[in-house]
Every structure is written in structure tokens, then in C-alpha cells.
Structure 1
Amino acid sequence: MFEYFIRPMVPEDIERLVDIRPGFVTDTVFKVEQFEQGWRLVEKKLSTPFDKGAGYDFTPEERQSIAGRLAQDNTLMEVAVEKSTGKIVGILDVEEEAWRNTAWIWNIMLDVDARSHGIGQEMIHHTIGWGRRRGLRAILLETQTNNVPACKFYLRMGFQLVGINTLFYTNQDIERDEVALFWGFPLRAR
């Protein structure tokens, strides 16, 4: 049985993040279809599964950004740790954006072997509670149309699709099947 605990992140954890293997494989993608002045997302089967693999590795630049946020007092930074090995198997990296009274989830990533054990759900619940205690109006995050497992997870957790950016990564995002999707979870009515 996989056992874990979640605790606040400490500076010593930053270099250990490279042990997390947060890639994913999917056999579907959300195709963005443009029509008139709008878009539609249609889930399509791929002829060959898409493997993000090492695409989400924690580069030195990413670890430096995480360390910078960890030093701030307007963040929720947690790691999930496997009890038997002490290995870090997940990260939650959330920053309050006071100018719009929201929380931005920079990272919620789990090792491929740590999924389907409730860690992601627990981290989202921590974020919701943290945001409400701070009086924030919403939680926001971004993912991609090729990360169908993450999109479905956010939907199950009550997030709503609040935006699409077809030029976020390149000028060929639609053709590359990697369009930025923005998700929101309202914490209060206004």
C-alpha cells in the first residue's frame, strides 16, 4: 500500500524536486476548433499516444523560481513524501496574487507512481482552504490541451474552464495540439 504525508516545503527540498517524474502519457487530446468568434474543445483519439515524458522536469531555472516563491510569505508550498522511502513524490506551489485577489497554482505535480492515491485531491483541498482563509476570490491555473488527464482532474475537482490562449507558447499552438487552457475555482460569489 502506498502511504504518504504532505508537509510544508523547506529550502532543502528544492534540489530533491528533480526526483519527481511528473510526465504523462495520453491517447487523447483536446482539439481546439475555431469558429466565427469562438472556440470549441473536442476530445480526439490519437493514432499514437502522446508521451510528455521528461517535458516537465524541474530545470535549474524552474527550481530557482520555486525557491524564490518559497521565500515569500504569500505562498502555499507543500511537498508529498512517500513514508517508506522519504522520497518527495509531489509538489504544490501556490502564490497569492493580491492585485487581483486570487491564488495562482504554479505547480501541482505528482510522480507517475504516486498518482491515484488522493494526493492531488488533498493538495487541491489544502489550496481551497488556504485561499478561503486569506479571503481570496478564486484559484487559477493553466494547463495544456494535450494534458487531458490533468484537465479531467481539474474538472472533477470543480474547476471551470475560464480561458483559452492559442498563442501562449508559439504561433502554431493549435497545429501542435498544445494550447494553453486556463482554469478557475471561485471561492466566493464576488
Structure 2
Amino acid sequence: MELTIRKMTKEDQDQLIEIDDRFTADSILVLSMDKNKIHYTVENIPGYIKSYKDDEQLEESSDFSAYIDHPDQAVYAAYIDDQLAGYVTVKRNWNEYAYIEDMKVDIKHRRQGIGRTLVEQVIQWAKEHKMPGIMLETQNVNVKACQFYESCGFKIGGFDFCLYKGIKKHANEAALYWYLIF
């Protein structure tokens, strides 16, 4: 198995990106705060399959043209033996952090170091662009992703219980804002 990370270029612009991003949501991070530090416990919930493709327009999720050849944005694709296995999109955010807008690893390629390698690529990109760190947002029902980011050194910097209610009025999901400060 050969893992290659490549910054996407104009030649890749029309490449169709199909990533199976499904995961089982069978637990949730229950948040608490003490002395300005956010803590969590994990509680089991009735399991269901979730895909972010269900929450977004497919055309928007695979249009990387704004990231290509832009000094403050990039998209990196991960390939296993020349087959697309994942990607990450990153940009300079208004607060100067590198903001991971999207990161997906195909379900059949998880737990092979691809996500960690993509995060390492973003760290390198952010440092080259003299940014103070990296931030991203994920949901408290994506426990495996939360635990992955935490294992990469990210800390929860904030949360929002209302963010997803605009999409689904009765959503019981919280947005978690994760930070890796250099």
C-alpha cells in the first residue's frame, strides 16, 4: 500500500470526487464546562448511519475550483495506490487560523493513517503560511472524528447547540469547534 498526498491543481479541477463518508452515530459527546475548560463524556445513543452528503448539495461538496491556485486556500487529495482515498480542504480563516473546511476519508480506507497524514499536511501548510494554528468544526455525534482530532492534539475551543437547527429544526447535534494552536 502506497499513500501519496498531492495538492490539487487546475488539471484536477474537473475530477469527480466520490468519497463514501458514511459513519455510524451510536454515541454522543455530552459537554460540560468548568473554569473555562470544556470537558465531555461519551454516552451511547440509538445508532444510525449518517452521511454529510445528506446535509449538503453534492455539487458544492465536489467543486474545488476556489481552492486551486489560490494563495490562501488549498485542497490536498490522498491516494492509495493511485486510487482516491480521501481529501482535505483548507483556507486562511478571517481570524488567521488555517480552517479545515472539509476532510473526508473513504469508509474502506479508514484506520490506515490517511486522516493523520492529511492533518500533518495541513499543519505544514499552515506553518508555511505563518498561521497561529488550525481550527475546524465537527458534530458531537461524530464521536470517532472528535476522538481522532483530539488524538492529533486538537482541543475543543467552543460549541454551538443552535447551528444545525437551521437545517433541521429538531436537530439534537452540537457543533464543536476544535483548535490546534502552534
Q: TM-score range by the shorter chain?
A: 0.7 to 0.9
TM-score computed with the length of structure 1 as normaliser: 0.81
Aligned residues: 180
Alignment pair present for 1:109 and 2:104: yes
Relative to structure 1, the CA distance from residue 56 to residue 18 in structure 2 (aligned partners, 3 Å threshold; closer, same or farther) is farther
Per the alignment, residue 78 of structure 1 pairs with 76
Q: State the 1:126 CA deviation.
A: 1.4
C-alpha distance in 1 between matches for 2:30 and 2:166: 16
Partner of 2:159: 164
Q: Which residue is equivalent to 1:96?
A: 92
In structure 2, the residue matched to 1:118 is 113
- How far apart in 1 are the matches of 2:32 and 2:157? 16
Cα displacement (A) at 1:89: 1.2
Q: CA RMSD in A?
A: 2.9
Partner of 2:147: 152
Higher helix share: 1
Distance in 2, Cα, partners of 1:58 & 1:7: 25
- Deviations 1:14-50 (CA, angstroms, capped at 9, x unpaired): 554542111211321124579xxx9864311123x22
**Residues 46 and 17 (structure 1), Cα distance of their counterparts in 2 relative to 1, 3 Å cut:** farther
- 1:28 is matched with 27
Tell me if 1:143 matches 2:138.
Answer: yes
* TM-score of the two chains, using structure 2 as the length reference: 0.84
SS at structure 2 position matched to 1:19: coil
> C-alpha separation between the residues in 2 aligned to 1:174 and 1:163?
21
User: 178-187 vs 168-177, which deviates more?
Assistant: 168-177
Cα separation, 1, equivalents of 2:10 and 2:105: 19
Unpaired segments ≥5 residues, structure 1: none
Label 1:20 to 1:116 Cα distance change in 2 as closer, same or farther (>3 A): same
Please say if residues 38 and 156 of structure 2, whose CA atoms lie closer than 8 Å, have aligned partners that are also in contact.
no
Distance 1:129 1:158, change over 3 A: same
**1:67 maps to what in 2?**
65
**1:132 — aligned with what?**
127
Query: What is aligned with 1:6?
Result: 5
Counterparts of 1:31 and 1:185, CA distance in 2: 21
For structure 2, list consecutive stretches of 5 or more residues without a partner in the other structure: none
Aligned-partner Cα distance in 2 for 1:11–1:70: 6
Change in Cα spacing, 1:30 to 1:173, as seen in structure 2 (3 Å) is farther
Q: Is the 8 A contact 1:77 1:93 kept in 2?
A: yes
Distance 2:146 2:134 in 1: 15
